[in-house]
Structure 1
Amino acid sequence: MNKLTIEERAKILHLLCEGMSIRAITRLTGASKNTASKLLIDAGKACAAYHDANVRDVKASRVQVDEIWSFTYAKQKNVASAKAAPDAAGDTWTWTALDADSKMIVSYLVGGRDAEYAMGFMDDLAARLANRVQLTSDGHRAYLEAVEGAFGCDVDYAQLVKIYGPTLTAPGRYSPAECTGAKKIRVEGSPDIAHVSTSYVERQNLTMRMHMRRFTRLTNAFSKKVENHAHAVALHMMYYNFVRIHKTLRVTPAMAAGVADRLWEIADIAQLVADAEEAPKKRGPYNKRT
């Protein structure tokens, strides 16, 4: 069986990270759909493992958290009537925690939007930080208990609660409600009210939609399996943190946060995949026959 070179893998991964669909990649590169899909899965696993092991002891002062919506297989309202819908079909949320200064994604999680996922997300975030931070979230109620459980009183936490009114423009199918204002509410510690904001992490939501085809609205590029959706998110986070130079900072977020000491290339991610393939596997128990 033919094996892709590092350069060929890097090209496919780069196209995936820049928002191209798998079918478009197959037309441009000549690789099969199964090859591109398997590379995405392998890269997602390698990137998630690298992030988990190396994004630790992050020295941040202000962290913003948010959730972004997408769906797997079918939208939630259509799951009941969908044919052979898997268990994880429906709404899929990606939780992100961003360092407001370095713009690095410190923690992320793919799953539901309930209290259980909120607690898992906050526990992971707390384990990756090196010091006390000012934390800002939206008004999602699940954050209250999750932040308390993960940080206790060792956090300066505030919520930015947006106030919505009726739609002022002509109503349409996808017309959101008009945001008429926002309240800054202190929840724990002594947060600086001037820095209670979710602007940076919400801007990151746009970056995710632009760089992952699976997040593009009104297309058929949505994920059919939640596992592949999570792999795509892991690849994007690695690319965003370590490879893509932030326009304002002029370095990558990982370099700005002190997590990386050099500029990564997409070939470095491809090498992570190759290294994971070559890693020795544990042997099973051996029973000697007598």
Structure 2
Amino acid sequence: MSTALPICPNCQSDAVMKNGRTRHQKQNYKCRDCGRQFVEDPQWRMISEETKGIIDRLLLEKLSLAGIARALEISELWVQQYVNAKYQQVEQEVQVRPKPKRRLAVQMDELWSFVGNKGNKQWVWLALDAQTREIVGVHIGNRSAGSAQALWRSMPPVYRQCAVVYSDFWSAYTEVLPSKRHYAVGKETGKTSYIERFNCTLRQRVSRLVRKSLSFSKKLENHIGAIWLFIHHYNASLSVCSSFPA
């Protein structure tokens, strides 16, 4: 007794023929009318926009990509490809509210991380507005004066023109920052407490930055993209004062 062939899912035609087997040894079919090839009960399913939105939110939490794939019951390979494309599109420039030209206070610090293995160190350089708590400068690179210069250039012009900067005693800051507006201070002064606290937040929210983790980055571009993605989310979620004292 012959088994009826399935209907084409594309054009609903019954002019369907067998067309070999897939690499998973499932029967493949081909529609004579529209040329569509298909299998019955396919394992692949289209990822909905709702699921993509959930992935976007989970990327801002301390979850590995494998953990996201398990939680949502989707392919880890698909998640990796989706994340690769997303991180490539993340803008690598700070988004902050406009500030008037007046005295501003900025706290700077650098955070150790790595890509691939602990021998490939990648330092996350950050600058934070002490009043609004916005991240106003970011650079990821080595721990040289060149990276300190890149951090300085990453800040909006109003900060480079007006801000007083507090940092630790790392020599790269002294080489780069304007001497009349730079103060190297110890932790006991509290002048860098906000940026140090943000470093803790970053480590707690971005799994790639956890010191003992199986979720570390294997690709520098994704490492940078993940950090920038969280910083954009962080700045956007802040309740920032809309007015500033003269």
TM-score for the superposition, normalised by structure 1: 0.61
Q: Say whether 1:237 aligns with 2:234.
A: no
Map Cα deviations across residues 221-264 of structure 1 (whole Å, 9 max, x no partner).
11111111001101111121113xxxxxxxx1xx50659xxxxx
Deviation (angstroms), 1:6: 3.4
**Which residue of structure 2 lines up, in the alignment, with residue 213 of structure 1?**
207
Which one has the bigger helix percentage? 1
Specify the alignment match of 2:32 in structure 1. none
- Percentage identity across aligned positions? 29
Question: Is 1:96–1:108's contact at 8 Å kept on the other side of the alignment?
Answer: yes
Looking at structure 2, the residues matched to 159 and 126 of structure 1 have their Cα atoms a distance apart, in angstroms, of 22
Q: Any conservation in 1 of the 2:125–2:139 contact (CA below 8 Å)?
A: yes
Aligned residues: 198
Kept after mapping to 2: 8 A contact 1:94/1:111: yes
1:199 alignment partner in structure 2: 193
Sort the Cα spacing of 1:257 and 1:227 in 2 relative to 1 into closer, same or farther, 3 A: farther
1:157 aligns with 2:182: yes
Query: Counterparts of 2:149 and 2:160 in 1: how far apart (Å)?
Result: 19
Cα gap change, 1:12/1:108 in structure 2, threshold over 3 Å: closer, same or farther? same
Q: Which residue does 2:145 correspond to in 1?
A: 115
Corresponding letter in the other structure for 1:141:
S
Matched residue type, 1:115: A
Task: Report if aligned partners of 2:87, 2:225 keep a CA contact under 8 Å in 1.
Answer: yes
Asked if 2 retains the 8 angstrom alpha-carbon contact of 1:40 and 1:232, the reply is no
Which amino acid letter does the alignment assign opposite residue 116 of structure 2? Answer: Y
Taking the aligned partners of 2:175 and 2:183, their CA distance within structure 1 comes to: 13
Shift of 1:206: 0.4
- CA 1:128–1:4 in structure 2 vs 1: closer, same or farther (change >3 Å)? farther
Letter of the 1:55 counterpart: V
Mapped to 1, the partners of 2:136 and 2:172 lie a distance apart of: 20
Residue 41, structure 1, aligned to residue 66, structure 2: no
Query: Within 2, Cα distance between the matches of 1:130 and 1:93?
Result: 21
Task: Report the Cα distance in structure 1 between the residues aligned to 2:209 and 2:163, rounded to whole angstroms.
Answer: 30
Query: Is the counterpart of residue 256 in structure 1 residue 240 in structure 2?
Result: yes
Cα 1:62–1:230, aligned 2, differ >3 Å: closer, same or farther?
Answer: same
Q: In terms of Rg, which structure is larger?
A: 2
Is the Cα–Cα contact under 8 Å of residues 56 and 127 in structure 1 kept in the other structure? Answer: no
CA contact (8 A) 2:87 2:221 kept: no
Indicate the structure whose relative CO is greater, using CA pairs within 8 Å and at least 6 residues apart. 1
The letter for the 1-side match of 2:49 is: I
Give the Cα–Cα distance (whole angstroms) in 2 for the partners of residues 128 and 221 of structure 1. 37
CA distance in 1 between counterparts of 2:141 and 2:196 reads 18
- Asked whether 1:61 is paired with 2:79, we answer no
TM-score of the pair, normalised by structure 2? 0.71
Aligned residues of 1:98 and 1:201 also touching (Cα < 8 A):
yes
Task: Summarize deviations over 1:119-170 as a string: whole Å, max 9, x none.
Answer: 111122253638512210111101112113xxx75xx2201146xxxxxxxx
Q: 1:8 aligns with which of 23, 46, 51?
A: 51
Structure-1 separation of matches of 2:54 and 2:137: 27
